[in-house]
């Protein structure tokens, strides 16, 4: 017998620019949306659990296309620094001292709490000890694509880089098909930390296992030089030359992508995940997102790790994304609210290789959120653009992932958030990052 959930008195999004649809109900059977109708047609609850939305907006959960969840440990640890100093003198040494399975589990759990409380129902994560991250997301009830990192130097979880592929293969084998929430993936870190041979092996592994490949690419101006000098081509062309660019590839950042690079991404049907706040905080630049959409590239939005953001709230990220596009193009019509919302929902899911997510329709996965739209800061409410320009993560009232209610009335019911907060504070003290 199926598990039924009925959400009554909900408000739904409507056509772009139109008022919202009031007084609707949505039925969920197991993990899928099975019915959407007006409350006039509502015939009672029968055997279903009922959640009265009380006029709140029911919308697709947000998709965080790129995160290093365990980096919550370093949130605010080293701000306002030049990239190389930040990475080499602060983040890398702190990571070397701190990364272990326990740290990844608890710091990813803390990230899950922050993401759920700001309306994220799915994350594409990329880090090390990825089995622990997968376990954290699974325990939290959050959907996740979990990429295991590959770099050419020793890291705490893989002391011998020669064992990279073997380690990641083992991670994939352990998690593939285990949970409906978790999709393991391969994450070769970047072309400046992975040799061409390593990138090719990573791609072969992804193809052999039938999983997604996620990689950082074209993030900074420095990277351009690092790749163009030895390889004679832009970072994105370099990936293409090695055979990485196809529809199973997620290219993270693409800040320094020229028209030819974008044409290549479009032609190869590779997706982009843009991380506007991280790119801004590290002064990396503004990705040409409006141009990507014009060229038909699928674009998702990521927060990146919260050490370079320092927030995992996708509402902030949407607002920043559209405003940066308007500035970069000196055009206030650039990247309208409706397009941004799509990047954070349906396109965002496609960009990390997941289907059937990011929309409210019969047959879609029941990954949905309820947003309280009654606040002073959301009044009056003309159309859905308020989600991009006015709403905040704290307006999210309830979160359902795969048909399961994991937050209700802002209370996370799937795990103990306070335990995660306490554990991460202790870890920060233990590892010496917090005095």
Which residues inside 77-116 make contact with its own copies, applying CB under 8 A? 77, 79-83, 86, 110, 113-114
List all residues 6 or more positions away from 113 whose beta carbon is below 8 Å from its beta carbon: 140, 412, 415, 417, 420, 421
| Residue 80 or 361 with smaller CB distance to its own copies | 80
Contact segment (CB under 8 A) with its own copies among 56-64, 72-80, 263-271, 287-295 equals 72-80
Cβ 336 to its own copies, closest distance in Å? 4
Residue among 72 and 130 whose Cβ is closer to its own copies = 72
E-strand ranges in 233-320 read 249-253, 271-274, 299-301
Query: Which residues, other chains included, contact 227 with Cβ-Cβ below 8 Å and sequence gap of 6+?
Result: 191, 192, 233, 234, 235, 238
Q: What are phi and psi of 63, to 5 degrees?
A: -110, 115
Contact 285, 324 (CB under 8 A): no
Among 147, 72, 138, which residue's Cα sits nearest to residue 352?
A: 147
Q: What are phi and psi of 182, to 5 degrees?
A: -110, 125
Q: Sketch the per residue contact string, 342 through 381, with its own copies: x for CB under 8 A, - otherwise.
A: --------------------------------xxxx-xxx
Chain positions 215 to 274 lying near its own copies, rule: CB under 8 A, are: none
Please report how close the Cβ of residue 289 comes to its own copies at its closest, in angstroms: 14
Closer Cβ to its own copies, 49 or 221, answer by number = 221
Q: Are 354 and 145 in contact (CB under 8 A)?
A: yes
Closer by beta carbon to its own copies, 247 or else 425: 425
Number of residues in contact with its own copies under rule CB under 8 A: 71
Residue selected from 117, 129, 212, 237 as contacting its own copies according to rule CB under 8 A:
117
368-371/396-401 β-pairing: antiparallel
Could you tell me which stretch among 34-42, 287-295, 325-333, 346-354 binds its own copies (CB under 8 A)? 325-333
Q: Minimum distance between the CB of residue 313 and its own copies, rounded to whole angstroms?
A: 7
Answer positive or negative: Cα dihedral of 260, 262, 267, 271.
Answer: positive
Sign of the alpha-carbon torsion through 31, 35, 38, 40: negative
Residue 91 beta carbon to its own copies: minimum distance, rounded to whole angstroms: 13
What Rg do the C-alpha atoms of the chain give, in angstroms?
21
Among 23, 179, 226, 433, the residue binding its own copies under the rule CB under 8 A is: 433
- The single residue among 72, 183, 359, 402 that binds its own copies, judged by CB under 8 A, is 72
| Number of residues that make up the chain | 435
Shortest distance, position 124 Cβ to its own copies, whole Å: 19
Give the number of other CB atoms < 10 A from CB of residue 34.
17
Shortest Cβ distance from residue 254 to its own copies (Å)?
16
23 touches its own copies (CB under 8 A): no
CB closer to its own copies, 34 vs 383: 383
121 vs 322 by CB, closer to its own copies: 322
Q: Is residue 382 a contact point for its own copies (CB under 8 A)? A: yes
**What is the nearest approach in angstroms of its own copies to the Cβ of residue 201?**
33
- Min. distance of Cβ 62 from its own copies in angstroms? 15
Instruction: Tally Cβ neighbours within 10 Å of residue 232.
Output: 10
Give the DSSP letter of residue 56: P
Q: How far, rounded to the nearest angstrom, does the alpha carbon of residue 362 sit from its chain's CA centroid?
A: 24
* Residues between 264 and 323 that touch its own copies (CB under 8 A): 277, 280-283, 285-286, 306, 309-313, 316, 319-320, 322-323
Q: 């997968």: which residue's tokens?
A: 134
Give the binding range for its own copies (CB under 8 A) out of 119-127, 132-140, 330-338, 351-359.
330-338
Q: Does 46 bind its own copies (CB under 8 A)?
A: no
Q: Order across the sheet with 271-274: list the strands.
A: 62-67, 120-127, 143-150, 182-188, 212-217, 249-253, 271-274, 299-301
Residue 407's φ and ψ, nearest 5 degrees, are -135, 135
Query: Which stretches of 226-379 are assigned E, i.e. beta strand?
Result: 249-253, 271-274, 299-301, 368-371
Q: Would you say 65 or 337 has its CB closer to its own copies?
A: 337
**Residue 137 or 175: which CB sits closer to its own copies?**
137
CB 244 within 8 A of CB 264: no
Q: For residue 357, give the 3-state DSSP assignment.
A: coil
For its own copies, the closer of residues 31 and 223 by Cβ is 223
389 binds its own copies (CB under 8 A): yes
118 binds its own copies (CB under 8 A): yes
């Amino acid at each position: 017998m199926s598990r039924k959930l009925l959400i009554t008195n909900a408000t739904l999004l409507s056509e772009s620019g139109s008022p919202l649809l009031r007084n609707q109900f949505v039925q969920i059977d197991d993990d899928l949306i099975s019915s959407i109708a007006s409350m006039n047609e509502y015939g009672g609850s029968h055997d279903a659990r009922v959640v009265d939305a009380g006029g709140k907006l029911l919308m697709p959960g947000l998709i965080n296309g790129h995160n290093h969840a365990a980096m919550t440990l370093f949130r605010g640890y080293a701000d306002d620094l030049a990239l190389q100093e930040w990475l080499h003198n602060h983040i890398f040494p702190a990571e070397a001292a701190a990364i272990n399975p326990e740290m990844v589990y608890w710091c990813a759990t803390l990230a899950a709490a922050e993401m759920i409380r700001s309306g994220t129902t799915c994350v594409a994560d990329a880090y090390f000890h990825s089995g622990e991250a997968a376990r954290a997301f699974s325990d939290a009830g959050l959907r996740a694509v979990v990429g295991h990192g590959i770099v050419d130097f020793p890291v705490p979880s893989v002391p011998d880089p020669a064992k990279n592929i073997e380690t990641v293969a083992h991670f994939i084998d352990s998690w593939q098909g285990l949970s409906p929430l978790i999709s393991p993936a391969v994450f070769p870190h970047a072309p400046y930390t992975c040799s061409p041979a390593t990138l090719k092996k990573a791609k072969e592994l992804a193809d052999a296992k039938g999983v997604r490949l996620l990689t950082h690419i074209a993030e900074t101006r420095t990277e351009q030089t690092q790749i163009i000098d030895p390889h004679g081509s832009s970072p994105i062309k370099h990936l293409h030359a090695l055979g990485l660019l196809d529809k199973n590839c997620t290219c993270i950042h693409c800040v320094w992508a020229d028209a030819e690079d974008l044409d290549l991404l479009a032609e190869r049907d590779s997706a982009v995940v843009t991380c506007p706040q991280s790119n801004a905080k590290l002064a990396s630049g503004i990705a040409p997102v409006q141009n990507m959409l014009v060229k038909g590239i699928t674009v998702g939005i990521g927060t990146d790790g919260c050490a370079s953001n320092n927030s995992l709230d996708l509402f902030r990220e949407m607002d920043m994304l559209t405003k940066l596009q308007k500035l970069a193009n000196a055009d206030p019509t650039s990247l309208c609210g409706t397009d941004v919302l799509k990047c954070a929902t349906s396109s965002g899911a496609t960009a990390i290789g997941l289907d059937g997510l990011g929309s409210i329709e019969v047959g879609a996965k029941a990954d949905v959120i309820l947003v309280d739209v009654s606040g002073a800061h959301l009044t009056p409410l003309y159309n859905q653009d308020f989600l991009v320009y006015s709403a905040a993560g704290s307006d999210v009232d309830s979160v359902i992932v795969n048909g399961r209610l994991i937050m209700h009335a802002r209370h996370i019911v799937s795990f103990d958030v306070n335990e995660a907060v306490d554990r991460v504070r202790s870890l920060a003290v233990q590892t010496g990052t917090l005095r």
